[in-house]
Amino acid sequence: MPNTSEQFYEKCRAIHDLQEVQQLLEWDMQVMMPRKGVDQRGNHQAALATAIHEKVTEPGLGGLIEELAARQDLGIGLAADVREAKRARDRAVKVPARLVAERAQVCALAQVAWEEGKKNNDFAAFRPHLEAVLNIVREMARAIGGDQNPYDALLDEYEPGMTEGALTATFSDLRDRLVPLLDKIKGARRRPSQDLVKRPYSLAAQEAFSRRVMADMGFDTEAGRMDVSAHPFTNGTFRDVRITTRYQETFLNMALFGTMHEAGHALYEQGLDPERYRDPAGQYCSLGIHESQSRFWENMIGRSRPFWRRYFPQLKAAFPGVLDGVAEEEFYGAVNVVEPSLIRVEADEVTYNLHIILRFELESALLAGKLEAADLPAAWNEKMRSFLGIVPPDDREGVLQDVHWSVGLIGYFPTYALGNLYSAQFARAMRRDMPDLDERVAAGKLGDVKAWLNANIHVHGRRYLPQDLCAKVTGEPLSADSALEYLNAKFGEIYGF
Same domain as 68, residue 214: no
Q: For position 228, what pLDDT does the model report?
A: 94
49 Cα distance to chain centroid: 22
User: Which residues are CB-neighbours of 83 under 8 A, at least 6 positions away?
Assistant: 281
Whose CA is closest to 60, among 105, 2, 145? 2
413 part of a folded domain? yes
Same domain as 334, residue 405: yes
The residue range of the domain holding 22 is 4-148
CA gap 228, 255 in Å, rounded: 10
Catalytic site residue from 262, 269, 349, 363: 262
CA gap 497, 490 in Å, rounded: 10
Same domain as 317, residue 342: yes
Same domain as 173, residue 86: no
> Which CATH number do you get for residue 462?
1.10.1370.30
Same domain as 86, residue 191: no
The pLDDT tens digits for 469-487 are 999 999 999 999 999 999 9
Q: Measure CA of the first residue to CA of the last residue in the chain; give whole Å.
A: 70
Same domain as 186, residue 128: no
Q: Dihedral through CA 148, CA 154, CA 159, CA 164, nearest 10?
A: -50
Instruction: Name residue 128's amino acid.
Output: P
Instruction: Name residue 361's amino acid.
Output: E
Q: For position 2, what pLDDT does the model report?
A: 66
Q: For position 317, what pLDDT does the model report?
A: 98
Q: For position 68, what pLDDT does the model report?
A: 96
What SS3 state is found at 235? strand
CA gap 223, 136 in Å, rounded: 36
Alpha helix positions (H), 146-202: 150-158, 164-186
CA gap 82, 71 in Å, rounded: 11
466 part of a folded domain? yes
CA gap 43, 39 in Å, rounded: 6
Q: Dihedral through CA 476, CA 478, CA 481, CA 484, nearest 10?
A: 140
Which of the listed residues 82, 113, 148 is the one where a domain comes to its end?
148
Q: What is the DSSP letter of 281?
A: T
Same domain as 137, residue 240: no
281 part of a folded domain? yes
Contact predicate 336/303, CB 8 Å: yes
Same domain as 194, residue 79: no
Same domain as 246, residue 220: yes
The pLDDT tens digits for 147-167 are 889 999 999 999 999 999 999
What SS3 state is found at 192? coil
CA gap 327, 319 in Å, rounded: 15
Same domain as 173, residue 139: no
Consecutive H or E run containing 242: strand 240-245
Contact predicate 292/426, CB 8 Å: yes
Distances (CA, A) of 417 to 14, 252, 412, 424, 491: 33, 24, 10, 11, 19
CA gap 389, 266 in Å, rounded: 35
Consecutive H or E run containing 243: strand 240-245
Contact predicate 87/334, CB 8 Å: no
Q: Please give the model's pTM, rounded to 2 decimal places.
A: 0.91
153 part of a folded domain? no
Q: For position 346, what pLDDT does the model report?
A: 83
Distances (CA, A) of 455 to 136, 178, 221, 400: 40, 32, 21, 39
What's the total number of domains in the chain? 2
387 part of a folded domain? yes
Same domain as 338, residue 269: yes
Contact predicate 196/326, CB 8 Å: yes
Longest dimension (CA), the chain: 75
Same domain as 179, residue 123: no
What SS3 state is found at 236? strand
476 catalytic? Reply is: no
111 Cα distance to chain centroid: 18
Which of the listed residues 99, 117, 148 is the one where a domain comes to its end?
148
159 part of a folded domain? no
CA gap 159, 319 in Å, rounded: 41
Question: pLDDT tens string for the chain (497 positions)?
Answer: 469 999 999 999 999 999 999 999 999 998 999 989 988 998 998 899 899 999 999 999 999 999 999 998 899 999 999 999 999 999 999 998 899 889 989 998 999 999 999 999 999 999 999 999 999 999 999 999 988 899 999 999 999 999 999 999 999 999 999 989 999 999 998 999 999 999 999 999 999 999 999 999 999 999 999 999 877 899 999 999 999 999 999 999 999 999 999 999 999 999 999 999 999 999 999 999 999 999 999 999 999 999 999 999 999 999 999 999 999 999 999 999 999 999 998 899 999 999 999 999 999 999 999 999 999 999 999 999 989 999 999 999 999 999 999 999 999 999 999 999 999 999 999 999 999 999 999 999 999 999 999 999 999 999 999 999 999 999 999 999 999 999 999 999 999 99
Which of the listed residues 85, 116, 148 is the one where a domain comes to its end?
148
118 part of a folded domain? yes
Strand order in the sheet with 234-237: 224-228, 240-245, 234-237
360 part of a folded domain? yes
Distances (CA, A) of 256 to 253, 323, 328, 420: 5, 16, 17, 19
Count other C-beta atoms under 10 Å from residue 250's C-beta.
10
Contact predicate 387/354, CB 8 Å: yes
